[in-house]
Amino acid sequence: MKIELSSEQKIIKDQFKEFTDKEIIPYAKQNDYEETVSKELICKVAEKGYLGSMIPKEYGGMGLDMVSIGILNEEIGRGCSSVRSLLTVHGMVALAILRWGDKKKRDYWLPKMAKGEVIGAFALTEPEVGSDAKSVKTNALLENNQYVLNGTKKWTTMGQIADIFLVFAQCDGKPTAFLVERSTPGFSIQPIKGLLGARASMIAELKFEDCHVPEDSIIGTVGTGLTHVALSSLDYGRYTIACGCVGLGQACLEASIRYSRKRKQFGAPLRQNQLIQKMITEMFVDIKAARLLCYNAGYLKDVGDPDSIMETWNAKYFASKIVNKISSDTVQIHGANGCCSDYPVERYFRDARINEIIEGTTQMHEVLIATNAFRNY
DSSP state, 209? Answer: E
Give the list of residues 6+ apart from residue 189 with CB closer than 8 angstroms, or none: 159, 160, 182, 204, 205, 206, 207
Cα separation, 221 vs 335, in Å, equals: 54
For the beta carbon of residue 273, count every other beta carbon within 10 angstroms: 15
Residue 164's Cβ-count burial label (10 Å; 0-12, 13-18, 19+) is: buried
Closest CA relative to residue 95, chosen from 234, 216, 296, 243: 234
DSSP state, 62? Answer: -
Cα separation, 89 vs 120, in Å, equals: 7
Give the chain's radius of gyration (CA, Å): 21
Query: Which amino acids are annotated catalytic?
Result: 359
Residue 37 and residue 31 in contact, taking contact as beta carbons nearer than 8 Å: yes
Residue 364's Cβ-count burial label (10 Å; 0-12, 13-18, 19+) is: middle
Cα separation, 151 vs 149, in Å, equals: 7
Residue 72 and residue 149 in contact, taking contact as beta carbons nearer than 8 Å: no
Please name the amino acid found at residue 271: R
